[in-house]
Amino acid sequence: MYLIKNAEVYDPSPRGRQDILVVNDRIAAIGKDLCPNLPDVEVIDGEGMKAVPGFIDQHVHVTGGGGEGGFHTRTPELMLSSVIKAGVTTLVGLLGTDSLTRSVENLVAKTKSLKNEGISAYCLTGAYVYPPVTLTGAVDKDLVYIDEVIGCKLAISDHRCSRPTKAELIRLASDIRMAALISGKPGVLHLHVGRAGNGLKEIMEIVEEEHIPITHFRPTHMDCHHEEAIRFMEKGGWADFTAEPDKAGELYETIQKAGTERMTVSSDSNGSIPVWNDKQEIVDVKVGGMEPLFQLIRNLIRDYDMPVDSALSLITSNVAKALQIYPEKGALLPGSSADMVLLDKDLSIDTVMAQGKLMMKNGKLLAKSTFEEIPIA
């Protein structure tokens, strides 16, 4: 059990200076001057700290991605220490361009591994290609029968995608919707939207013509398609933007036009960052990290005077609502999962708690992946 004293609480809305009592994996109480008559309560001094919900990252290449530049450009899989240091307590794993040397089986296994190591983890079946790669042989069966699978990934409008037809998109979305209704899951069709083709044109037509709820379609990388993202959000959809801290100004401009209510941010961690020439030949490749997720949020707060709660919602409550796990996740409320980050006065990540377990304290790691060869406190 833990008692965080005198922290400035954001749930993510500001609630002023409060104490937070954590019992097992739950937030048991939030209030002023809590003095629980319980044994073995560890007190954590939250003076000068902001207590915020643990961050949620819904686009993570947990098994690694890349490969566009040859076998040696396959990026490494995600390690728990990277997750903790980024303040992330819940994530969604997915495949990338490569579904030949990577598999849904490996993805599900890695997702289960991360759960065993102490964070909350889900995953998406599919990858860039159509028909989608699956574990059971069908997207709807993966969604219904595999606990961790909450949807499917697919690439559109990209020179690396399979160019699915409108009819194929309708069939896939319909299968996902039916499986979501049966399984009680969000049933997301997570769409990698590239810079080629018609963007979201066919998706918007499907929403209008087929009456499939727009909330099943989850376009990501919308930082390359700001105007389309605004139109999509105005229709009630969720638009996901990849975290690029040096482009905080562009995102802020979109926020000024559309608000944050239907907007989320993800990291694209452990995916490749390829550089293409005008002939679509790869000339360089780098690997993405998870740190930009909160770096972008911090830049919005510091450089653009964005309210802390509005900025935080992009990686906490909004994502949880989109994934239908709010207020279990993405909130600091009595009864919510004890996923929490303490930020110091400089808005640096000081302490991380996942499901009631301290994973980092005072900047020192307390947990790591099973075979990580790094020191922990």
Domain covering 54-322 assigned CATH 1.10.3470.10 in the classification = no
Residue 272 pLDDT: 87
Q: Which CATH code for domain 2-52+332-365?
A: 2.30.40.10
Domain ranges of the chain: 2-52+332-365, 54-322
Residue 300 near residue 250 (C-beta atoms within 8 A)? no
Residue 166 near residue 156 (C-beta atoms within 8 A)? no
Residue 214 near residue 235 (C-beta atoms within 8 A)? yes
Residue 139 pLDDT: 98
Q: Is the pLDDT of residue 275 over 90?
A: no
Residue 64 pLDDT: 96
Residue with token string 């930020």: 343
C-alpha span between 297 and 275 (Å, rounded)? 25
Q: Is the pLDDT of residue 261 over 90?
A: yes
**Averaged pLDDT for residues 306-333:** 98
* Cα–Cα distances in angstroms (integers) from residue 20 to residues 27, 46, 116, in the given order: 7, 10, 26
Break the chain down into helix, strand, coil percent, rounded to 5. Answer: 30, 30, 40
64 membership: H or E segment, kind and range = none
pLDDT band at 122 (very low <50, low <70, confident <90, very high): very high
**Which one is catalytic: 268, 309, 339, 350?**
268
Q: How high does pLDDT run on average in the chain?
A: 96
Mind listing the pLDDT tens digit for each residue in 146-191? Answer: 999 999 999 999 988 999 999 999 999 999 999 999 999 999 999 9
Known active-site residue 309:
no
Residue 274 pLDDT: 82
Residue 285 pLDDT: 84
Residue 62 pLDDT: 98
Residue 67 pLDDT: 86
Residue 196 pLDDT: 83
Q: Is the pLDDT of residue 197 over 80?
A: no
Residue 33: other Cβ atoms inside 10 A? 8
Least confident of 167-171, 192-196, 318-322, 350-354: 192-196
> What is the pTM assigned to this prediction?
0.97
Which residues have CB under 8 Å from 166's CB, separation 6+?
Answer: 202, 205, 206
Residue 216 near residue 180 (C-beta atoms within 8 A)? yes
Residue 69 pLDDT: 85
pLDDT band at 38 (very low <50, low <70, confident <90, very high): very high
Helices 292-304 and 248-258 sit at what angle, rounded to 10 degrees?
A: 70
Please provide residue 142's backbone torsions phi and psi, each rounded to the nearest 5 degrees.
Answer: -55, -45
**Averaged pLDDT for residues 223-235:** 96
CA angle 76, 88, 90 (to 5 degrees): 95
**Averaged pLDDT for residues 42-61:** 98
C-alpha span between 339 and 239 (Å, rounded)? 24
* 334 DSSP 8-state letter: T
C-alpha span between 138 and 118 (Å, rounded)? 30
C-alpha span between 319 and 313 (Å, rounded)? 8
**Averaged pLDDT for residues 245-253:** 97
Residue with token string 């990252």: 57
Mind listing the pLDDT tens digit for each residue in 83-116? Answer: 999 999 999 999 999 999 999 999 999 999 999 9
Higher pLDDT, 144 or 281: 144
> With pLDDT > 90 as the criterion, what percentage of the chain qualifies?
92
Residue 279 pLDDT: 82
Alpha helix (H) ranges present in 71-165?
80-85, 104-116, 139-145
Q: Is the pLDDT of residue 4 over 90?
A: yes
Residue 4 near residue 15 (C-beta atoms within 8 A)? no
Peptide bond into 131 cis (omega under 30): yes
Sign of torsion over alpha carbons 200, 202, 207, 208? positive
Residue 271 pLDDT: 93
Query: CA end-to-end span of the chain, whole Å?
Result: 19
Mind listing the pLDDT tens digit for each residue in 290-314? Answer: 999 999 999 999 999 999 999 999 9
